[in-house]
Structure 1
């Protein structure tokens, strides 16, 4: 029996990645925020990646009464003590600008030889319990890699043109989406979510 779930994001690139990863699963029907009538800007004010993920999923569940999942993702760079982390999307300030974010990252890394970094995604699933109360589950995915000095590739989004995952020579932005979805932080967290849904 198919179940309806909302993916609580306004990010078209994330939606594309998740739809590709879920293609052919057959266990549930994915709905977007627009499809459930949500045009609200989802809150992200907790200061942590897991907290923001939970906050967005709970907002949709509480206001639209639909089972949903949300993710929050950050790039965590060793030499910068985990920056940009939870602030990855707005690293260079408002408004959100991926080009300025990448430029600031490279500037802050200019004096560092350690280029180790990780992408970290946390998905939070909120669904109704036996009495309608919210039940929450979180699923984490991490991929390790390095930050390069010059952007490469036209695909992906965010910091993808600067991130080369361990074991590969291409940046995320140079990889076909299908290849990225095999190894990405988001794909790894999503695989745990899908496995959980399949056990219910």
Structure 2
């Protein structure tokens, strides 16, 4: 029997990117999102001060609200965000409420560019924290980090709903948008390591190891 992973998000852009990354390492694995459940899980209140704290909150919140056979699902929750050097690491975990209220993708893009106006240092780091929550209660925490710069204007052709920094985050070493680098085979990245991909690969490995120890779950 093939395990099904529940990726704890309703964000369609984040879900699509995760599935594409995970299937590079485990193409047969079924991955669903919160939107695929036939009941509603309440939104998790993300009160953590770090990416790890928020990812753990999401994973445990999701586990506590699963019904019936869904309690056997392997949950992967993530928290990720941009940390901009010239802004002392903003927005970090506060992307959606960066200016104090809930923001749309476009508001985040506009606000970011306004805050970086006249800044020569546009270096930024995109951090991802993934938490695997297994049905037996075990948890694993995995990090991925990538460096780049924030463009002075958005690349609208890179826009994807739910991923505001997708149209701003650029990798100078490869002269490409970060999401374009993700789509390249490793041999064409000139040594640029994708932290997110490394983290997802580690997830896939840990889930396979879990399956070997639990004969009722096979990936």
Q: 1:93-144: CA deviations, max 9, x gaps?
A: 4333111112211221223221111100001111122xxxx21111111110
Q: 1:28-66: CA deviations, max 9, x gaps?
A: 321221333334212211121111111001111122134
Matched, 1:141 2:144: yes
* More off after superposition, 90-99 vs 4-13: 90-99
Instruction: Tell me which residue corresponds to 2:217.
Output: none
Which residues in structure 2 correspond to 1:36-47 (within 5 Å)? 36=37, 37-47=39-49
Q: Distance in 2 between matches of 1:178 and 1:83?
A: 27
**1:198–1:9 Cα change, 3 Å:** same
Q: Which has the higher contact order (CA 8 A, sep 6+)?
A: 2
Matched, 1:69 2:69: no
**1:180–1:83 Cα change, 3 Å:** farther
- Equivalent of residue 106 in structure 1, options 89, 101, 113: 113
Structure with bigger helix share is 2
2:107 aligned counterpart, secondary structure:
helix
Unaligned runs of 5+ in 2: 211-219
1:199 aligned counterpart, secondary structure:
helix
Instruction: Tell me which residue corresponds to 1:15.
Output: 15
> How many residue pairs are counted as aligned between the two chains?
195
RMSD of the TM alignment (CA)?
A: 2.4
Matched, 1:31 2:32: yes
Q: TM-score, normalised by structure 2?
A: 0.79
Instruction: Tell me which residue corresponds to 1:195.
Output: 205
Paired residues of 2:129 and 2:141 also in contact (CA < 8 A): yes
Q: Distance in 1 between matches of 2:14 and 2:185?
A: 12
Paired residues of 2:23 and 2:29 also in contact (CA < 8 A): no
Q: 1:51-97: CA deviations, max 9, x gaps?
A: 11110011111221343011111100111111010011232343331
* More off after superposition, 177-186 vs 17-26: 177-186
Paired residues of 1:5 and 1:28 also in contact (CA < 8 A): yes
- Equivalent of residue 130 in structure 2, options 123, 128, 133: 123
Paired residues of 1:153 and 1:171 also in contact (CA < 8 A): no
